[in-house]
Amino acid sequence: MSGVVSKQVGETGSAQYRVFFLKDGKPVSPFHDVPLWVNKSQSVVNMLVEIPRGTNAKLEIATKEYMNPIKQDTKDGKLRFVHDKYPFNYGALPQTWENPSVLDARTNAKGDNDPLDACEIGSAQAAIGEFKQVKVLGVFAMIDAGETDWKILCIDVNDPAASLINSEEDLEKVLPGKVNEVYTFLRDYKIPDGKGPNQFAFDGKLQNREFAVSVIEETEHEWKSLVAGKTESPLSIENVSLNNSKTVTADEANAKLGF
């Protein structure tokens, strides 16, 4: 995302660790201020990397905190780590939201109250807080603890394989076994913690790009209702760029965060 840079606050591996985002030296929200679409006709979107491939610290957008920095999740008062390292770059799509009040007929479960998750399968390891322009390839309909938790499969547009993949057949031909690798990780990553495998709609089959784009559009619509204040939610919707929303000035955000 041009002009947006990350700023770390607190020590890595501490409960105080945060990654904030600045544009022209002023805070912005990666959830609300960064546009979703890069090129809609080509199914290209922005993706924020939370967990780089080959790492296992469970990092995520702090949706309830002011300006929505990335933080490490906690469980029972301890920083959370996934047992196995992620075999792909994992992150979120800005300006999307899975509404926990809406029952999805396809999964028979309500949304998980987060932005859409994305699994980027390119060859390069990303960095925490990096924005990638990614090509949407498909989507898994995961059901996590009874909540709909869509997983968008995508690839960095600058990856050598990106231009070669335009269908499910291309995906298996160019990156054989990759779809199954992503599915297996998503299904099994909680098992070492004593939980069962995650469940999926559609028998765990990857749904195609058109289906994935429709999911993105639906969650974009729910996000628009969220930031317009039409949906009651405890999430932080402060931003510096939107109209008809809880908008603050860049100077106000800078003063509050002390940057």
Residue 3's pLDDT is 87
Residue 259's pLDDT is 87
Backbone CA torsion sign across 14, 189, 87, 211: negative
| Chain mean pLDDT for the chain | 96
The answer for residues whose C-beta is within 8 angstroms of residue 223's C-beta and 6 or more apart is 95, 96, 97, 115
The CA-CA-CA angle for residues 1, 81, 239, to 5°, reads: 35
pLDDT digits (tens, 9 = 90+) for 58-69: 999 999 999 999
pLDDT, mean of residues 154-181 = 96
Element (H, E) at 90: strand 89-92
Residue 30's pLDDT is 98
User: What percentage of the chain has pLDDT greater than the value 90?
Assistant: 95
Please name which of 187, 201, 199 lies closest in space to residue 108, comparing C-alpha atoms: 201
- Inform me whether the pLDDT recorded for 183 exceeds 80: yes
Residue 142's pLDDT is 98
SS3 137: strand
pTM here is: 0.97
Return the top range by mean pLDDT from 34-38, 75-79, 243-247: 34-38
Location of structure tokens 């990397």: 49
- Inform me whether the pLDDT recorded for 251 exceeds 70: yes
Rounded distance between C-alpha atoms, residue 48 and residue 192, angstroms: 27
Banded pLDDT at 168 (limits 50, 70, 90): confident
C-alpha distances in Å from residue 240, one per residue of 21, 22, 121, 139, 237 = 12, 11, 32, 31, 10
pLDDT digits (tens, 9 = 90+) for 97-146: 999 999 999 999 999 999 999 999 999 999 999 999 999 999 999 999 99
Domains and CATH numbers, the chain: 4-257 (3.90.80.10)
pLDDT, mean of residues 160-184 = 96
pLDDT digits (tens, 9 = 90+) for 18-28: 999 999 999 99
SS3 91: strand
- Inform me whether the pLDDT recorded for 1 exceeds 80: no
